[in-house]
Amino acid sequence: MTKAPPSLAFLCIQSLKLQLLQGDNPIPDVYELPSELLDGVIAHLPALALHNFQTHMPFKCWDNYEAGDDCLTLTSGRKRPRNDVLGSSWKLLFKVRWPELVNSVEPSADWQQLYWEKHLQNCVDEAAEVAMRPTFSGRISSIHVSDKILRYICHEEHTNCQKCVCTELSFHFQTFGPYLRCLRLLNVLCVTETCELLRTSKLKTLVLCWIRSEKHVEPSCKLLSQNRETLTSLEFIHCKLSSSFISAICASLHEKDIHTSGIQRFYIKASSFDIDPLAAPPAFISFLNSVRSLQSVHFCDSHLDRHIARMIFSTLLDSSSGLSTLDISENNVGWLSTFTWRSVTSSLSSGKSLRSLCKLNLSGNELNKYDAENLSHALRHMPGLESLDLSGNPIEDSGIRSLISYFKKNPDSPLADLNLENCELSCCGVIEFLDTLSTVEKPLKFLSVADNALGSEVAEAIMNSLILSIESLDISSIGLGPVGFLELGKRLVKGVKKLMSINISKNRGGLETARFLSKLIPLAPKLVSVDASYNLMPPESLLMLCDSLRSAKGDLKRLDMTGNICISSETDHSSLLGEFQHNGEPIFVLPSSSTSHVPYDDEP
Ligand SMILES: *[C@@H]1O[C@H](CO)[C@@H](O)[C@H](O)[C@H]1NC(C)=O
Ligand SMILES: *[C@@H]1O[C@H](CO)[C@@H](O)[C@H](O)[C@H]1NC(C)=O
Ligand SMILES: *[C@@H]1O[C@H](CO)[C@@H](O)[C@H](O)[C@H]1NC(C)=O
C-alpha cells in the first residue's frame, strides 16, 4: 500500500507548529488566517506551541466583539470567542495526558492553568527520583525532563529535535511557573535552588514530604516566606517537626511585626511532632492564637502526647478563633481526663470557646470511659459541633452513657454525624443511646456503630428510633445474624424516606439478609448505596433482590454483594449486570467466581 501524500494544509500546519515551538519569534501572520484554518491549526498544536500561540496572540483576537472577522468567524457564520476554542483545546490536551483525572475537575476550571500545574508536578516528581540517586551531584535546574513528558508538550517524537529549548527543568519553571498554585515537594528538592526555580510561582497549597533533616529546614522556610502572601494550605507528611523547625515555620509565615497570615489549613500527618509542651515554641502558640484565617487544623498520626494535645486544645480554646475543623486522630493517647474544663457558662460568656468548631476527629486515641465523661463536658464548649468521630476508642458503655447525658442536657445540639465504630460498646449501651436519640430535637443524619459486638437484640432499637430519620447508617460487623435481620425486617413497616446509604456487611445474616433487603429497597426511595458484603447469602438471594429492584422505583446505584455465595453456575449473571445498571455502571457488585466459595467454584 502506498501512503497518500500529505495535504498542503497538513504541511502548513506542521510548519506553523515548528515555528510556534521556537517560541520567542512569534509569527504575526498566523493570527490573520481565516478562522476555520486557524481552528484547524489550534487543534493540532502540542501544549508548548499552544502556549506560545496564546502568549503572543494580539489583544484584538481575544474577544469576538472587538475582533475582525478574520480572527473569529466560524464556517457556520456564527461567531465564537477565541477563548472558547482555546479553552477546549487545553481541556483536550489535559484529557489526552491525564485521562484518569479529567472527571475530577470542575468543567469550568482554567484548563491551561491546571495543565501546567500538573505538568510541573510531573516534572518535579521525576526530578526528585533523579536527585535521590546517590550518584547525583549536579544542579537541580539542569536535570533533564524525560522524553516521556516532552512528547506531550513539544513533539510526538521528541528525540528528533536536537536544539529543543525545553529539555532542562529550569525552562519549565521559568515558562510555566506562574501557573503553579499547588505543589508537593519531596525532601531532596527542598533546597535553595528550588526556591530560585519557584520564584515566579504564587503557591496557594504546599505539601512538604519527608523533611527530617536539619539541612532541609531552611530552604523549606524560605519557600514558605516566598509564598507567604498567597499560601492558604500547608501540609507536612512524614516529617520530623522539632521545636526549632516549628518555630521557624511559624516565623516564616508571619511578616515581621505584622501578625497576619492567610493560612486556612494546617495539616500534619504521619509525622513526629517533638515539642516540649512545658516550653512550647512561642511562635507556634502565637500562630495558633493569632491566625484569624485558620479554618482547619490536623495533627493526624503524629505522636502527640497528652500534654501537647492539651496544650493545643487550650490554646485554641483561648484564641476564640474561627476554627471549623480539628483533627487529632490516631495519636494513641488518652488525655481528655487530664484536662480541666472551665465552667461552660464563664467560657461561653467570655467568648472563649470553640464556638465555630463544626468537625472534631478524635478517632484512634485510646480514649476510655473517663475521657468520654470529660468529653461530654468539653462538647458544651463547642456549641456548633456537627460531626464527631470517636471511632477506635475503647469508651465502652459508660462512655456512651456520657454521650447520652450530653444529648439529654442539650436536646437541640446540632450534632448530626457521629462515628462510634469499634468503641467496645455492648447492646445495652447502644439500645439506651438509640432510645435517647429518638427524643432529641435534631436527629442524627449519619451514625456508625459498626464493629461493636451488639448482637441481634439491637435490631429493634435500630429500627424504632433511627431508621426513620437517618440518612446514612453503618451497622457493619455488629453480629446481627439471621435473627437480627429477621427482626429488622419485621419492624420495617413504614417508608424509610431519608435513608441514602446503609452498610450491613459482615453480619452473617444468610438468606434473612436478602429478605430484609428486598423489603427495604422498595420502601426506601432515596437509597443509593447498600453494602451487603460478607453475609453468607445463598444463591437464591440474588433472584430475590432482582425482583425487589424491579418493583422498586428508587435510585439505587450500588449493591455490594461481594463475599457472598450468591453465584452458581446455572445463573448467568451477565444478563443481571446488563439489566440492572445506573448510568452505564452495573448496580450489583458481585463476587468474582475465583473469590466465591469453593463448592460453587469448581462446577462445570
Ligand atoms: C475530667 O476528668 C477528671 C478525672 O476523671 C475529673 O477529676 C475532672 O473533674 C473532669 N473534669 C470535668 C470538667 O469533667
Ligand atoms: C478521622 O480520622 C481518621 C484517621 O485519621 C480518618 O480515617 C477518618 O476519615 C476521619 N473522620 C472524619 C469524619 O473525617
Ligand atoms: C462497610 O463496612 C465495611 C467494614 O467496616 C467496610 O470495609 C466497607 O468499606 C464499608 N462499605 C462502604 C460502602 O462504606
Question: Is pLDDT at 308 greater than 90 in this prediction?
Answer: no
Please choose from 303, 327, 366 the residue to mutate so as to test ligand 2's pocket, defined by most ligand atoms within 8 A of CB.
327
| pLDDT for res 603 | 34
Q: Once rounded to an integer, what is the mean pLDDT over residues 324-347?
A: 70
- The amino acid sitting at 71 is C
Write the DSSP string, 342-362.
PPHHHHHHTT-S-TT--EEE-
Ligand 3 center to 421 CA (angstroms): 11
Q: Which of 250, 239, 190 is nearest to 212 (CA)?
A: 239
Q: Once rounded to an integer, what is the mean pLDDT over residues 151-167?
A: 70
| pLDDT for res 337 | 58
Ligand 2 center to 363 CA (angstroms): 7
Angle at 362 between CA 358 and CA 368, to 5 degrees: 130
Q: Of the segments 98-107, 351-360, 445-454, which one has the largest average pLDDT value?
A: 445-454
| pLDDT for res 388 | 97
Q: Which ligand is nearest to the CA of 503?
A: 3
512: Cβ below 6 Å to ligand 3?
Answer: no
C-alpha–C-alpha distance, residues 223 and 230, integer Å? 12
Ligand 3 center to 419 CA (angstroms): 13
- The amino acid sitting at 330 is E
**Cβ(337)–Cβ(374) under 8 Å?**
yes
Question: Is pLDDT at 516 greater than 50 in this prediction?
Answer: yes
**Nearest residue (CA) to ligand 1, atom 14:** 374
**Cβ(420)–Cβ(400) under 8 Å?**
yes
Please choose from 503, 513, 529 the residue to mutate so as to test ligand 3's pocket, defined by most ligand atoms within 8 A of CB.
503
> Residue 404: which residues within 8 A CB-CB, separation 6 or more?
432, 433, 436
| pLDDT for res 594 | 45
Q: What percentage of the chain exceeds 70 in pLDDT?
A: 84
Ligand 1 center to 337 CA (angstroms): 6
How many Cα atoms within 13 Å fall on the side-chain side of residue 255?
A: 9
Q: Which of 583, 585, 467 is nearest to 526 (CA)?
A: 467
C-alpha–C-alpha distance, residues 136 and 114, integer Å? 30
Q: What digits encode the pLDDT tens for the residues 571-603?
A: 566 777 778 888 888 898 887 654 444 333 333
Which atom of ligand 3 lies closest to the CA of 450?
5
402: Cβ below 6 Å to ligand 1?
Answer: no
337: Cβ below 6 Å to ligand 1?
Answer: yes
User: Residue for cell digits 502558640?
Assistant: 285
Which atom of ligand 3 lies closest to the CA of 451?
5
More confident residue, 280 or 350: 280
Which atom of ligand 3 lies closest to the CA of 501?
13
436: Cβ below 6 Å to ligand 1?
Answer: no
377: Cβ below 6 Å to ligand 1?
Answer: yes
pLDDT tier at 181, thresholds 50, 70, 90: very high
Question: Is pLDDT at 342 greater than 70 in this prediction?
Answer: no
Ligand 1 center to 373 CA (angstroms): 7
Residues with CB under 6 A from ligand 2: 300, 327, 329-330, 361, 363, 387, 389
Ligand 2 center to 361 CA (angstroms): 6
pTM of the predicted model, to two decimals? 0.86
Q: Which ligand is nearest to the CA of 362?
A: 2
More confident residue, 409 or 25: 409
Element (H, E) at 163: none
Please choose from 340, 342, 368, 406 the residue to mutate so as to test ligand 1's pocket, defined by most ligand atoms within 8 A of CB.
340
| pLDDT for res 320 | 64
- Cell representation of residue 349: 460568656
**Cβ(223)–Cβ(195) under 8 Å?**
yes
Q: Which ligand is nearest to the CA of 381?
A: 1
Q: What digits encode the pLDDT tens for the residues 86-97?
A: 888 999 999 999
Ligand 1 center to 347 CA (angstroms): 17
373: Cβ below 6 Å to ligand 3?
Answer: no
Q: What digits encode the pLDDT tens for the residues 388-398?
A: 999 999 999 99
596 Rama class: left (phi>0) / alpha (psi -120 to 50) / beta? beta
374: Cβ below 6 Å to ligand 1?
Answer: yes
Within 100-207, where are the H helices?
111-132, 147-153, 169-176, 192-197
Give me the sign of the Cα torsion angle 342, 348, 352, 355.
positive
Please state, in angstroms and as integers, the Cα–Cα distance from residue 217 to each residue in 128, 233, 241, 300, 414, following that order.
Answer: 17, 18, 10, 21, 42
